[in-house]
């Protein structure tokens, strides 16, 4: 079966005024909710009409599986993209959700970390591959592996911003400081424009005192870089991947799905504010309408029952 990208649905035309935003979902720790956040944020954004592409940069391929792309169906993917063998469109596969595509992870990706070492521009391979091709997307979400090696470096160099899922557990802040130092180094050496998109607290357990203590610490240290939305620990979230479905499609009404709907709303709201800021400071000739990201916000908010 060939890899094909979904035909653009009428409701999923890319936002004309904005270039696609490339967001790396990263944390060097495993099991903190990177893949879950990538899959469900991508789904929530596609559900409100954004064109979204997930790049599975983890050799474990959990984002691909969780989006319903079983390994037997993956012929080419991120590995071939990194090696410059194919372009973004040829590597993309459609998912069950219109507007949401994925560059799958194939077995060879585990070798890429070593193979990349000898290549030119080894840390810019993904950036070059995504480059201009991403303009057809509103969002590209890169699911990074649980390490700070060459693959994650490629993710950070390709990205406009980093979204950090953080599990509320002992020593969470120490791990976070290490990641922030890495982000600073990447900024200084390879990608001046790299920003922190936000920190999202995951697998939050309201009955566990540690969760609220860690939350307090992280919020006092990182202020409004931390999303108000907190993702609760929720059994439906952990069941969904074995059905090859984002939890939003598996059980939309569960607390985990609703949290991801809210997170998408918050991300769009923040981005809308940023766009307005750029508009007023740069005096660009934007179309006479609301910032594109906020224009479709109410749909997210209706689904989440949240009002601003
Ligand atoms: P990472 O990509 O950082 O390694 P995952 O997203 O794969 O982390 O999550 C690790 C495990 O925790 C997975 O089994 C996933 O299903 C589960 N999980 C993630 N988020 C939640 C949640 N909010 N509630 C319950 N289980 C979760
Ligand atoms: Mg993962």
Kindly report the backbone phi and psi dihedral angles of residue 25, in degrees, each rounded to the nearest multiple of 5, phi listed first: -95, 105
Answer yes or no: is the C-beta of 241 below 6 A from any ligand 1 atom: yes
How many Å apart are CA 26 and CA 145, to the nearest integer? 7
Mean pLDDT for the stretch of residues 63-92: 94
Return the structure tokens found at 71. Answer: 């390994």
The per-residue pLDDT for 191 is: 96
Confidence of residue 136 (pLDDT cuts 50, 70, 90): confident
Ligand minimally distant from the alpha carbon of residue 151: 2
Whether ligand 1 lies within 6 angstroms of the CB of 243 is answered as no
The pair of structure tokens assigned to 111 is 């070798």
Q: What is the pLDDT of residues 151-207, one digit of tens each?
A: 999 999 999 999 999 998 888 888 899 999 999 999 999 999 999 999 999 999 999
Is the separation of the CB atoms in 67 and 39 below 8 Å?
yes
Residue 207's contacts (CB-CB under 8 Å, 6 or more residues apart) are: none
The pLDDT, as a whole number, for residue 134 is: 66
Q: Which atom of ligand 1 is nearest to the CA of 36?
A: 6
Q: How many angstroms separate the most distant Cα atoms in the chain?
A: 52
What pLDDT is recorded for position 65? 97
Cβ of 245 below 6 Å from ligand 1:
no
What percent of the chain has a predicted confidence (pLDDT) above 90?
Answer: 75
Cα–Cα distances in angstroms (integers) from residue 125 to residues 46, 62, 120, 246, in the given order: 26, 22, 9, 29
Distance (Å) from CA 156 to ligand 2 centroid = 16
Rounded distance, CA 37 to CA 142, Å? 11
What count of residues does the chain have?
308
Residue with tokens 């020593």: 171
Q: Pull the structure tokens for residue 99.
A: 């507007």
pTM comes to 0.86
Number of neighbouring beta carbons within 10 Å of residue 37:
22
Give the mutation target among 24, 27, 238 for probing the ligand 1 site: most ligand atoms within 8 A of CB: 238
pLDDT, residue 187, reads 96
> Comparing 199-208, 271-280, 290-299, which segment has the lowest mean pLDDT?
290-299
- Tokens 């903190």 locate to 32
Q: How far is the CA of 304 from the centre of ligand 2 (A)?
A: 26
Structure tokens at 25: 């979902």
More confident residue, 302 or 271: 271
Q: Which of these, 299, 261, 209, lies nearest to 42 by C-alpha position?
A: 261
Percent of the chain with pLDDT over 70: 81
Give residue 132's region: left, alpha or beta (phi > 0; psi -120 to 50): alpha
């Amino acid at each position: 079966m060939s890899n094909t990208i979904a035909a653009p649905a009428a409701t999923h035309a890319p936002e004309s005024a904005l270039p696609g935003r490339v967001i790396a979902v990263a944390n060097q720790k495993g099991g903190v909710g990177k893949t879950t956040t990538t899959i469900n944020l991508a789904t929530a954004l596609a559900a409100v009409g954004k064109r979204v592409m997930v790049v599975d940069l983890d050799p474990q391929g959990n984002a691909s599986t969780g989006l319903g792309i079983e390994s037997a169906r993956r012929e080419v993917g991120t590995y071939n993209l990194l090696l410059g063998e194919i372009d973004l469109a040829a590597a993309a596969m459609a998912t069950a959700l219109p507007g949401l595509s994925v560059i799958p992870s194939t077995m060879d990706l585990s070798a890429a970390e070593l193979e990349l070492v000898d290549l030119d521009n080894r840390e810019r391979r993904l950036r070059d591959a995504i480059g201009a091709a991403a303009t057809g997307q509103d969002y590209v979400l890169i699911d990074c592996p649980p390490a700070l090696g060459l693959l994650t470096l490629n993710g950070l160099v390709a990205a406009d911003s980093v979204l950090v899922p953080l599990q509320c557990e002992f020593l969470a802040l120490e791990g976070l400081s290490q990641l922030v130092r890495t982000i600073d180094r990447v900024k200084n050496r390879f990608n001046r424009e790299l920003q922190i998109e936000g920190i999202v607290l995951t697998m939050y357990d309201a009955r566990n005192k540690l969760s609220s203590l860690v939350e307090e610490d992280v919020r006092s240290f990182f202020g409004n870089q931390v999303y108000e939305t907190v993702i609760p620990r929720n059994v439906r979230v952990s069941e969904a991947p074995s059905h090859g479905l984002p939890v939003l499609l598996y059980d939309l009404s569960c607390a985990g799905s609703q949290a991801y709907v809210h997170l998408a709303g918050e991300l769009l709201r923040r981005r809308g504010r940023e766009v307005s800021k750029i508009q007023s400071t740069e005096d660009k000739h934007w179309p006479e309408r609301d910032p594109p990201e906020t224009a479709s916000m109410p749909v997210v908010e209706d689904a989440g029952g949240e009002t601003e």
